[in-house]
Amino acid sequence: MVNTNMKNKLAIILVLAIGIFSSLHAFAGIQITVNIAPPPIVVFDQPACPGDGYIWTPGYYQYGDYGYYWVPGQWVLPPTVGLLWTPGYWGYEGRKYTWHEGYWGPKVGFYGGINYGNGYFGKGFKGGHWEGNVFQHNTAVSKVDHNNVHNTYVDRTVVQEIKGPNQAFNGKGGIKTKATDEEAEAGRAPHQAATKEQVSQAQEAHNNHLAAHGTPRE
């Protein structure tokens, strides 16, 4: 017979397992569907790029045990030279809000028309581009430390500002735009999942989400 202490330990293990599982779902190919719309995107300060070759991956809202929480953006080394990040996004589909995970690929695909800022203004990426094996940063929309980052240029024609609340989902009541043929093709092409650093960032945000509501993280 299993005693009370053992039952409690098993219950805690089960809760932790569920929490870890849910925190990684955005990058595990598991579809998340909820009934509540995500909050509007707000402006968050971008930290300076730490070095050459890093690409900015914007923050986003994820859904957890106590509702939506923010996963901060971060500078990430792509898994392979030449790849770009397509951010994830929420879409209103079938009267529910569904999360579409982001991915790495040679071209930026559809991310719902969401204006995440810092070069991700709804379509494509204006924060930089690859020239051979070197990533060039557009300092008009990306913050860099010139002591550490040496490959830069300035293109102010792509600058856009987020003024006031910005819808954080695509579809009815949100951003009304559809994928172009090029974006759809990029989504179908072979691509790579989030890096370990991105998954770790999502895990930490989920842990903080739980801790803020008094739920044990370990």
Q: State the Cα–Cα distance between residues 80 and 192, nearest whole angstrom.
A: 9
The answer to whether residue 217 sits within a structural domain is no
pTM of the model: 0.85
pLDDT in tens, 22-39: 444 455 556 789 999 999
Please, which pLDDT band fits residue 106 given cuts at 50, 70 and 90? very high
Structural domains in the chain (count):
1
The answer to whether residue 216 sits within a structural domain is no
Q: State the Cα–Cα distance between residues 141 and 47, nearest whole angstrom.
A: 12
Q: State the Cα–Cα distance between residues 90 and 63, nearest whole angstrom.
A: 10
The answer to whether residue 218 sits within a structural domain is no
Position 136 pLDDT exceeds 60: yes
Burial 17-38 (b: 16+ CB within 10 A, else e): eebeebbebbbeeeebeeeebb
Position 16 pLDDT exceeds 60: no
Give residue 114's domain range.
4-211
Please, which pLDDT band fits residue 165 given cuts at 50, 70 and 90? low
Give the pLDDT score at 3.
Answer: 52
Q: State the Cα–Cα distance between residues 25 and 97, nearest whole angstrom.
A: 15
Give the N- to C-terminal CA distance of the chain in Å, as an integer: 26
The answer to whether residue 106 sits within a structural domain is yes
Give the pLDDT score at 11.
Answer: 40
